[in-house]
Amino acid sequence: MSHDLADLDPHTPIVVGVGQSSELLDSPDYRRRSPVDLAADAAREAVADAGIDPSQIDTVAGTRQFETSIPGARALLGRSDNYPRSVAGRLGADPKRAVLEVGGGQSPQHLVNEFAATIAAGQAEVVLLFGSEAISTIERFAKADDKPDFTEHPEGDLEDRGYGLRGLVNMHHSTHGLTDAPSQYALFDNARRARLKLSRDEYAAAIGELFAPFTRVAAANPHSSAPVERSAAELMTPTEKNRVIAEPYTRYVVAREKVNQGAAVLLTSVGAARRLGIPESKWVFLAGHADLRERDLMERNDLSASPASVLAAREALAVAGVSFDELASIDLYSCFPAPVFNIVDAFGLSADDPRGLTVTGGLPFFGGAGNNYSMHAIASTVNLVRSKPGSYGFVSANGGLMSKYSVGVYTTTPSPWKNDNSAALQAEVNAWPAPEEARQADGWATIETYTVKHDRTGGRTGIVIGRLEADGRRFVARSDDRDTAILDLLSTGEPIGQRVYVRSFGFGNRVSVSDAAIDELFPPQPAVLRERYDNILVRRDGHLLEVTINRPEARNSLTPMANDELDHAFDAYFAADDLWVAILTGAGDKAFSAGNDLIYSGSGKPMWVPKNGFAGLTSRRHMPKPVIAAVNGFAMGGGCEIALASHLVVADATAQFALSEVKVGLIAGAGGVVRLPRTVPVKVANEMIMTGRRITAEEARSYGLVNRVTEAGRALEGARELAAEILESSPTSVRISLQVMEETRGIPDVVDAVTHHSAALDDLMVSADAIEGLTAFAQKRKPRWVNR
């Protein structure tokens, strides 16, 4: 062995120290340790394990806590704004480089893989990795009078890699109830159950049998947050303490996030280890490694498995030159059953494998430790392979929705550094065919997978991923809270493969057992103007419709309810044969519309817009009759987008236009970033979009965004004058002119556009208005239009 070690390249990366820390709320030595304290405790242990001075550390990297993993998350007891350097400072280390990794359970193993490669490239020599959570303490003392303050402001630079949420956080999914990990992972397990043709009871028993051995390991682990051995039946039998979270999961089999735990791993090069006098008995090699990312949820052909995770596992074993059978220890990431089953299925393992499938006790029992769970698995695996020289240990780390998968194979057997083939494999994964998604799903469909979420009050929500019968597109939908029929279907027998009906609304897709059931839940609204609306005013004057946003106290900003009413009013306008022109304005003299009501959205209430878009206009595909925006005062954000979507704009002298979303970290997503560059000069549009700059009414007119400018307070009068001019013309001709304009908008060649044949022109030639117009001209009288 010494001879083999002597032959190693001095840049070969090795693990030389590991450490773990924990404390339970009810333990006699409980000290209210902060996340930094817990990580520092583990890091001291790792440094002591290697027997080096902390001053030798040149690089530190930390995993994120829950409170730094999601934008806007609150640190109830305060937090360090440079977590890696806070931990380093506790040790007396002053590293050249400090890194805060992206979120995700894959991050500990990914950091080991990354920094092992960094060491192999000669770009670092001594690297300390760590992570921690103190969620139990934070929740216990968040409202206490004597709560500790974990706020820290250490000096030094930080390489903050961000949240790493791209492809994982999806507003469309959130709209349909996929806001929590249990409901997301339940989709995978239910799909797997159906693939295996198991009953609900059979699958529950399989989950219990899978995780019962995990509880035995956790019960013997001094760092476990739930050191209790449980039987398979106990794990899956619903009780008051073990309530159903998301079918098929009970509370006992989902990741436990309430922990106080920390773990650390110390890496060096072989050359540095020799220089620092680290005993060879401490050296552990990363013989195999791989990192892959699965396709995003709706792009996966098979929702019952994660083939990318399996590819990563096979690649790490191939790099190490060992088979799964040759492994002495295994830790399969176990936030939920699905990721464990995924590897079990691929390698033909069994729940009672004599080696066990976890070295810690797993996330539901040892504890999740947030993003840092696998740092504990690595630390435990390093100690196991040291205790059995020449053996191999396998660690898999999972992030997202079985999305990001990192694998490491550890051994004391001298192993030269080998590059993995993850980049080429990732290109292969990215090239896999993906189903087409229907964001707005309508029609009969088949259930592909599902879950039913249960809240603490007994409420239930069904979530379905399915395929439309008409074209096979995949969609996500949820049940309506009043709909017991779909919940009964999803909660009994085998829902997968069952026929259901889905309909899209502005607030998302809703699924039920039939079209009749959807009609009963959401009765179609007749396209007829109501006598009264809560947020808008409507006024008819002959063939003219005036719609006023009536929220002057909120600068006519729009809530979902206001948008819904505008959508209905414009549906009625476009459907009414005797209404030929519409004007949209805002009440008062301060604002046409300030866009979204930010106070309402900031309250946490659901935000949505109708399928036809903001104000029922910005996403409306067909606007067959003229809409005039009468802009009085501010047209900001969504208000400007409404003006852009209108056919004509009349503004008073006080009007100002802006797409101000960038000022609050958003974009003008209701058409502003698309329509503005097609309306005003591109350079002007670029400046307005990127800076949120306001332009005046006269400036807007000079750019072509506004048709007419009136004196202050006369925008509505000016719009009425413009409407009167339109009403002198044939409404049929106006309507068909708009139609031909739309039909030819995408034809780049002018002659092709001019010669484009529209059936509407044939209809015009035989219309009553065309005959009346020619007759009135010949008789030298004013036409009497009938709009036919």
CATH code, domain carrying 601:
3.90.226.10
* Calculated CA dihedral for residues 459, 192, 105, 170, nearest 10 degrees: -60
Highest-pLDDT range among 26-30, 255-259, 359-363: 359-363
Task: Single out the catalytic residue among 661, 721, 743, 772.
Answer: 661
Q: Which of 374, 408, 430 is the last residue of a domain?
A: 430
Q: Cβ(89)–Cβ(54) under 8 Å?
A: no
Residue 70 is predicted with a pLDDT of 86
Examine the residue annotation and report whether 326 is marked as an active-site residue of this protein: no
Residue 495: domain span: 443-521
Are residues 608 and 735 both part of a single domain?
A: no
Q: Is residue 180 part of a domain?
A: no
Are residues 547 and 483 both part of a single domain?
A: no
> Residue 573 class from Cβ within 10 Å (0-12 exposed, 13-18 middle, 19+ buried)?
buried
Residue 732 is predicted with a pLDDT of 77
Q: Is residue 208 part of a domain?
A: no
Q: Cβ(533)–Cβ(637) under 8 Å?
A: no
DSSP state of 405: E
- Tell me the HSE value of 598 on the side-chain side, using a 13 A CA sphere: 13
In the numeric block, the tokens 């949209």 are attached to: 584
Predicted confidence band of residue 602 (pLDDT cuts 50, 70, 90)? low
Predicted confidence band of residue 2 (pLDDT cuts 50, 70, 90)? very low
Q: Is residue 752 part of a domain?
A: yes
CA atoms of 637 and 591, how far apart (whole Å): 12
Q: How many domains does the chain fold into?
A: 4
Are residues 305 and 372 both part of a single domain?
A: yes
**pLDDT above 70 as % of the chain:** 98
pLDDT for 30 beyond 80: yes
Looking up residue 147, the CATH number of its domain turns out to be: 3.40.47.10
Quote the distance between the C-alpha of residue 330 and its chain's center: 31
Q: Cβ(408)–Cβ(378) under 8 Å?
A: yes
Overall average pLDDT of the 308-334 stretch: 98
pLDDT tens digits, residue range 268-306? Answer: 999 999 999 999 999 999 999 999 999 999 999 999 999
Q: 34 Cβ partners below 8 Å, 6+ apart? A: 77, 134, 137, 148, 150
Residue 544 is predicted with a pLDDT of 96
Residue 266 is predicted with a pLDDT of 98
Overall average pLDDT of the 72-82 stretch: 93
Q: Is residue 270 part of a domain?
A: yes
pLDDT tens digits, residue range 716-769? Answer: 999 999 999 999 888 878 887 888 888 888 888 777 767 777 776 766 676 776
pLDDT tens digits, residue range 410-451? Answer: 999 999 999 999 999 999 999 999 999 999 999 999 999 999
Predicted confidence band of residue 772 (pLDDT cuts 50, 70, 90)? low
Predicted confidence band of residue 80 (pLDDT cuts 50, 70, 90)? very high
Are residues 647 and 766 both part of a single domain?
A: no
Position with higher pLDDT, 429 vs 602:
429
**pLDDT above 90 as % of the chain:** 83
* Lowest mean per-residue pLDDT among 68-72, 148-152, 463-467, 745-749: 745-749
pLDDT tens digits, residue range 99-129? Answer: 999 999 999 999 999 999 999 999 999 999 9
DSSP β-bridge partners for residue 651: 631, 709
pLDDT for 3 beyond 50: no
Are residues 462 and 573 both part of a single domain?
A: no
Are residues 560 and 699 both part of a single domain?
A: yes
Quote the distance between the C-alpha of residue 15 and its chain's center: 35
CA atoms of 592 and 644, how far apart (whole Å): 13
Examine the residue annotation and report whether 661 is marked as an active-site residue of this protein: yes
> Residue 744 class from Cβ within 10 Å (0-12 exposed, 13-18 middle, 19+ buried)?
middle
pLDDT tens digits, residue range 668-715? Answer: 888 899 999 999 999 999 999 999 999 999 999 999 999 999 999 999
Nearest to 738 by CA among 772, 714, 764, 717: 764
In the numeric block, the tokens 């196991």 are attached to: 384
Quote the distance between the C-alpha of residue 699 and its chain's center: 39
Are residues 310 and 378 both part of a single domain?
A: yes
Nearest to 581 by CA among 765, 762, 730: 730
Are residues 660 and 699 both part of a single domain?
A: yes
CA atoms of 756 and 269, how far apart (whole Å): 72
Highest-pLDDT range among 72-81, 203-212, 606-615: 203-212
Residue 1 is predicted with a pLDDT of 37
Looking up residue 450, the CATH number of its domain turns out to be: 2.40.50.840
Q: Is residue 211 part of a domain?
A: no
> Residue 424 class from Cβ within 10 Å (0-12 exposed, 13-18 middle, 19+ buried)?
exposed
| pLDDT mean across residues, the chain | 93
Overall average pLDDT of the 67-86 stretch: 92
Q: Is residue 575 part of a domain?
A: yes
Q: Which of 521, 545, 576 is the last residue of a domain?
A: 521
Are residues 117 and 262 both part of a single domain?
A: yes
Are residues 372 and 387 both part of a single domain?
A: yes
Q: Is residue 195 part of a domain?
A: no
Q: Is residue 184 part of a domain?
A: no
Q: Which of 405, 430, 455 is the last residue of a domain?
A: 430
Are residues 507 and 568 both part of a single domain?
A: no
To 5 degrees, how large is the angle CA 373–CA 375–CA 378?
A: 120
Are residues 19 and 156 both part of a single domain?
A: yes
- Scored b (16 or more CB within 10 A) or e, 83-114 reads bbbbbbbbbebebebbbbbbbbbbbbbbbbbb
Residue 348 is predicted with a pLDDT of 97
Task: Single out the catalytic residue among 641, 687, 725, 728.
Answer: 641
